[in-house]
A and B are shown apart, each in its own frame.
Chain A
Amino acid sequence: NAGVTQTPKFQVLKTGQSMTLQCAQDMNHEYMSWYRQDPGMGLRLIHYSVGAGITDQGEVPNGYNVSRSTTEDFPLRLLSAAPSQTSVYFCASSWTSRGDNEQFFGPGTRLTVL
């Protein structure tokens, strides 16, 4: 099993550009989530999904969209990148339909917005 994979590992964008961060898992997990990690602020939940076709907002959803067309994939879209979105983004998945079990994290995407 590859576990949770993310692409790309690094990305530099200009203000106003859009892009999609990819996340996939091969563990047949129901729950998937996106976090951003900023210095001194821990990990903050952006969006999450409890199954294919179901998504919901987390703590910091503004400026991001998600979709969940399959159990395996959970892409995160930045609509119009801003410098405030410079961060490290982690995707995670869990075998239950909630976040109250071990979450398996991907390797992360380091995003810089100029």
Chain B
Amino acid sequence: GENVEQHPSTLSVQEGDSAVIKCTYSDSASNYFPWYKQELGKRPQLIIDIRSNVGEKKDQRIAVTLNKTAKHFSLHITETQPEDSAVYFCAASFDNLFFGTGTRLTVIP
């Protein structure tokens, strides 16, 4: 089955700086790559996703890039704010979703 690795496990940035989280996947058949944000005690919620026929996607301060050849994809958050503090999960899917182990992002005011 699919194996998704995510780095780093924790990340601290100053408010206003950028944050980058990286993931790799193993199954070349995977074609859907979402990112979920989970606040403490809450359910995971989709923040952005990308499909294999697209190399980059942006939504305001959030962007995701995909390199199918290298089998890795990344989440970029610019101009970070304290409310961006949460755990972020990447995932990869061909038919079912397989999640990375998460990155705890802390934005320091």
Q: List the interface of chain A (C-beta within 8 A of B).
A: 33, 35, 40-45, 48, 58-59, 90, 98-103, 105-108
Stretch at the interface among B53-61, B62-70, B75-83, B95-103: B95-103
Size category, B interface: 20 to 34
6 contacts between A and B (CB under 8 A): A45-B98, A48-B96, A99-B96, A103-B34, A103-B46, A106-B43
Residue of A nearest to B49 (CB): A102
Within 8 A of A (CB), among B19-34: 31-32, 34
Contacts of B16 in A (CB 8 A): none
Q: Are the CB atoms of B99 and A44 closer together than 8 Å?
A: yes
Q: Are the CB atoms of A45 and B97 closer together than 8 Å?
A: yes
Chain A: minimal CB distance from B95 (Å): 5
Contacts of A58 in B (CB 8 A): 96
Q: A45-B97, A106-B43 are in contact. List 18 more A-B contacts (CB 8 A).
A: A33-B97, A35-B99, A40-B102, A41-B101, A44-B99, A45-B96, A98-B95, A99-B95, A99-B96, A100-B93, A100-B94, A100-B95, A100-B97, A101-B32, A102-B49, A103-B34, A103-B46, A107-B43
